[in-house]
Structure 1
């Protein structure tokens, strides 16, 4: 009897197994939505009349920050601000509510109508002197100011001039490193290979040091001519800075005005010059 029941059970099992449908395994498909990248609309560049109508931002130009020797000549006195006077001037700027800006902010303001902080000012340094790092940048840091350092590349690593490491440090800490030619020859005298030597190669050298694009340039002695501007544009510079002479009505972005802070000026004289030189 047990054998019969066992055989019946086996038969039923086989019957059910043969008549049952195979389980259908369906793949679960997940719809992948590829995000559509939105392309930002290209900003309209301001026309010439709009750029020229903008209020000029005060831009200061420093060279030497050091003590004067007893027999210093008038030219040296003009181009040299003592450490004590530089410290007083930075404090006065801070007390008066000035906020430092950099060239990229100035460009966006002039070309794309970007806002600037209240009481904007730009603090620039020419000629690569070592004290611009040890004294200038250090003093500005107390007030949250950033500066623009126009470097002539022939002097890098020479005694009393900026080193590669200092230039990199200035850039890494939020200052702007910009070009000031290879060896400070006047742009008005360039011809032939001079453009490559004085504009292109210094730009590349500084970019190699800081690892960022270098797109701003300062004319040695502030001297420029109309023949230089196409070459400066072609070399990849976005703006160029002169000194206190009148900016060009056709290429104002390549003749941005600055004033030299003369060593003979008192701090009140500096503050007065800022207002009178850039008050439109």
Structure 2
């Protein structure tokens, strides 16, 4: 009789223990939810005033990586850096202890006091040129650097511009793809359906190509206005980048400064400009 009752009693104890677990699990889940809620409440975003007071991270902007030709005009000389000069500049950044960061890190630093590596720098490229993939990304890869590529969607798959596959490769390799409008018209001239053509559709197209959210926008020619910021926010962009003009004190996340790297700088001038332009 004892042999029959013992298994029954053991089974009854196990069943009782199992039946008591849901209450414990419910309590644990409720406690976890409470902890998460408290953590979310603690993580408040910095105000525009607080963001502006933080030291700026140096952000470089490249356009063309090509040899200067005899008949190149002044603009081409400003917007073009030779392949050898670009290689020297990237090497100099590495030798001088710089570490590349990406927009999500910058956003976390500005809004939530996120930590950055020592001597942070961001390297960005505008306009979709193929040499940015063949030369720019290839050269940065030698040093473990990653960059941000702002794309005009009208130019994708055209001769001398990047293809869908190259954009996907850049993204898969850890670089960031951002939007640079459809056809490089300045945002101050947009009206009516222009906002959808220049902001909404490019974002969706790039997201379809890389399979990731596109959260960052660079203003064509670096020119912006308040209406553009409103529309950029409506379209779900988290940050927007200008050029070397002053940030807006009320919208610092949507007027983030960059400096164009011209083809006229020597490597020492390049390093000096990084220091002087962002140490104010």
In the alignment, what sits opposite 1:97? Answer: 97
Q: CA deviation at 1:68?
A: 1.8
Provide the secondary structure at the position in 2 that maps to 1:94.
helix
Partner of 2:173: 173
Give the whole-Å Cα distance in 2 for the aligned partners of 1:120 and 1:226: 29
Distance in structure 1 (CA, Å) of the matches to 2:253 and 2:53: 13
Which residue is equivalent to 1:13?
Answer: none
What is the Cα deviation at residue 257 of structure 1? 0.2
Match of 1:10 in 2: none
Which one has the largest radius of gyration? 1
**Aligned counterpart, 2:121:** 121
Length, aligned pairs only: 261
How do 1:64-213 residues align onto structure 2 when only pairs under 5 Å count? Answer: 64-213=64-213
Structure 2 residues without counterparts, runs of 5 or longer: none
1:96, CA displacement in angstroms?
0.8
Structure 1 residue 67, shift from structure 2 partner: 1.3
- Point out the structure with the larger helix share: 2
Q: Structure 1 regions of 5+ residues with no counterpart?
A: 1-19
- Structure 1 residue 149, shift from structure 2 partner: 0.2
Deviations 1:160-183 (A, max 9, x none): 101101101101111010000011
In the other structure, the counterpart of 2:234 is 234
Say whether the 8 Å CA contact 2:49–2:250 is kept in structure 1.
no
TM-score (norm 1): 0.90
TM-score normalised by length of structure 2: 0.90
Structure 1 residues 11-56: Cα deviation after superposition (integer angstroms, max 9, x where no partner): xxxxxxxxx7994534431424535244262221011221010000
Whether the 8 Å contact between 2:59 and 2:259 is mirrored in structure 1 is yes
**RMSD after superposition:** 1.5
Aligned mates of 1:92, 1:251 — CA distance in 2: 33
